[in-house]
Structure 1
Amino acid sequence: MTRFLNNLSPSIIKWPDQAEKNIIEQNFREKGFPGIIGAIDGCHIKIDKPDNDPDSYINRKGFYSIQMQAVCDHRRKIIDLFVGYPGSVHDSRVFRNSPLKLSQQKQKCAPYYLLADSGYPLQKHVLTPYRDRGNLNRYQNNFNVKLSRNR
């Protein structure tokens, strides 16, 4: 079964071609975010206590997990997936070491952007919310609300 899924997954979970990027971007544009082709976030997949280095797999919520990073389009269809880091690893580190980050440098996203939460670093092709330390103006708050709704 695993061999079958490994062979099938690249045809299901795949980065959009240019025509698909145009459709995705148009849908995000209609929701107030032009230039976006996806939303990225991390998720914890619960696992049993591993035999090797179990402390590395305890996440901030206190259970054993591995990290899953996914990028979804406007329909919430997964277009990129990276799985395997221990649960204690922060989203920003998972991203920094992901194939997506490496290919992003080779224009996988250009000229588009991904929406992310504050667990990700603000980068050339990754938009994150303004840090709210109690001094955001109306425009910054509005941006954060729209970003959150679109993520």
Structure 2
Amino acid sequence: MAADIAILLMMEEEQQHSLKRRILRDKSNPLELPESTFIAQYRLNKEAFVMVLDKIQPRLRSSTIPAVLQLAATLRFVAEGPYQRSVGNDANISMARSTISEVLTRVIKTLKHSICHQWIQLAMGASEKQHSKDYFYNKYRIPGIIGCIDGTHIKVIKPSTDEDLYFNRKGFFSMNAMIVCDSNMTIRAVDARYPGSRHDAFVWSISTVRQHFPREFEIGDRTSRLLGDSRYGIEPFLLTPYRDPEYGSLHNTFNRAHSSARNVIERTIGLLKSRFRSLQGTLQYSPQKVVKIVNVCCALHNICRCYNIECPNIETITVSIEVYEENSEILSHNRMQNEGQRIRNEIANAL
């Protein structure tokens, strides 16, 4: 009897809590927040938020939860993640944890289809290429550079299958996300499909980015290239540093210029993870869903760059630069490798 009464009381309390949450949600409007508070909570400013909302609203199926709150909840999650409970407790959102889970799944999928292709584009116009080339040459004296490439690990929970593939050399489960950025710290490409044990050079070798550059090279664009660290193999369109150069040599001078120029990708990844803290913690989702979250965060990062949105009170993460002695250059075709070495030597001799 006492147990039955306790259950009834719990059910009544939950119903009251749910009703209170629904009333709060129906009356709330995140867009009424001051601009600075809005940016701090959702990372986008109101103008960018409305632009994204207009993109996804036609694609969202009908729901008792307004689209504006669904988007706000999702942005709050990627900004503060990786836990859903704190998002639901936000007074401007007020959703149960189970509801938050459904909303995130729906909106992340919609965002991926609505904004990623538009806001993450590898192809660059002539003026964009020239802008990046001028930046890298004027500042570091390295010609022809339109961007930089690096990999970063996104922590995930232990997968239910093929767990050994996701366990990386740093000792945790992850996805290895390859990111390419330009001189403006805009993300030009991202590929987060591969598990953490995969080497950066492997991810590059089978990526659509790797397929793009040889085509450009063969049809005549032989002066546009990326900078990558020693984990990648040298190619005409991907310059890597010399291995173990003698101090004071031309090769050593090239490596120092190369390292300074490539810092832009370290800063880009650091800003991405600082802005969207869900990428710092361990994401409690399947690898497939994590890939979508990473892609969406990269597109949102580019939107923030386009709208000149600063991130107040966020300390940028410093991404360490690591040097590997693995002979990943075997992944490059000999002809491409030789041509890349020739180009690198010409640049080193000119510094």
Give the TM-score normalised by structure 2: 0.41
Q: C-alpha separation between the residues in 2 aligned to 1:123 and 1:68?
A: 21
C-alpha displacement of 1:136: 5.5
The correspondence for 1:124, drawn from 236, 255, 258, is: 236
Q: Counterpart amino acid of 1:93?
A: F
Q: Counterpart amino acid of 1:21?
A: K
- Checking the alignment, whether the CA contact within 8 Å between 2:133 and 2:143 is kept in structure 1 is yes
Q: 1:70 to 1:110 in 2, by over 3 A?
A: farther
> Which ranges of structure 2 fall in alignment gaps of 5 or more residues?
1-106, 263-351
- Checking the alignment, whether the CA contact within 8 Å between 1:104 and 1:110 is kept in structure 2 is no
- Residue in 2 aligned with 1:56? 165
Q: C-alpha separation between the residues in 1 aligned to 2:149 and 2:198?
A: 16
> Does residue 247 of structure 2 align to residue 145 of structure 1?
no
Q: CA RMSD in A?
A: 1.5
* Higher gyration radius (CA): 2
Q: C-alpha separation between the residues in 1 aligned to 2:199 and 2:251?
A: 25
C-alpha displacement of 1:44: 0.7
- Residue in 1 aligned with 2:348? none
- Residue in 1 aligned with 2:118? 11
- Residue in 2 aligned with 1:96? 205
- Checking the alignment, whether the CA contact within 8 Å between 2:246 and 2:252 is kept in structure 1 is no
Q: C-alpha separation between the residues in 2 aligned to 1:34 and 1:98?
A: 24
- How is 1:61-72 mapped onto 2 (pairs within 5 angstroms)? 61-72=170-181
Name the structure with the higher strand share.
1
> Does residue 25 of structure 2 align to residue 25 of structure 1?
no
Q: C-alpha separation between the residues in 2 aligned to 1:76 and 1:87?
A: 24
Q: Counterpart amino acid of 1:25?
A: K
C-alpha displacement of 1:64: 0.3
3-state SS in 1 of match to 2:143: coil
> Which ranges of structure 1 fall in alignment gaps of 5 or more residues?
none
- Checking the alignment, whether the CA contact within 8 Å between 1:67 and 1:83 is kept in structure 2 is yes
The correspondence for 1:112, drawn from 215, 224, 236, is: 224
Name the structure with the higher helix share.
2
- Checking the alignment, whether the CA contact within 8 Å between 1:40 and 1:70 is kept in structure 2 is yes
Q: C-alpha separation between the residues in 2 aligned to 1:41 and 1:6?
A: 25
3-state SS in 1 of match to 2:216: coil
Question: Sequence identity of aligned pairs in percent?
Answer: 37
3-state SS in 2 of match to 1:28: helix
C-alpha displacement of 1:4: 2.3
C-alpha displacement of 1:95: 0.3
Q: C-alpha separation between the residues in 2 aligned to 1:136 and 1:126?
A: 24
- Residue in 2 aligned with 1:38? 147
Q: C-alpha separation between the residues in 2 aligned to 1:4 and 1:39?
A: 26
Q: Counterpart amino acid of 2:154?
A: I
Q: How many residue pairs align between the two structures?
A: 150
3-state SS in 1 of match to 2:197: coil
- Checking the alignment, whether the CA contact within 8 Å between 1:114 and 1:125 is kept in structure 2 is yes
| Structure 1 stretches of 4+ moved >3 Å | 134-137
Q: C-alpha separation between the residues in 1 aligned to 2:136 and 2:248?
A: 24
Q: Counterpart amino acid of 2:212?
A: S
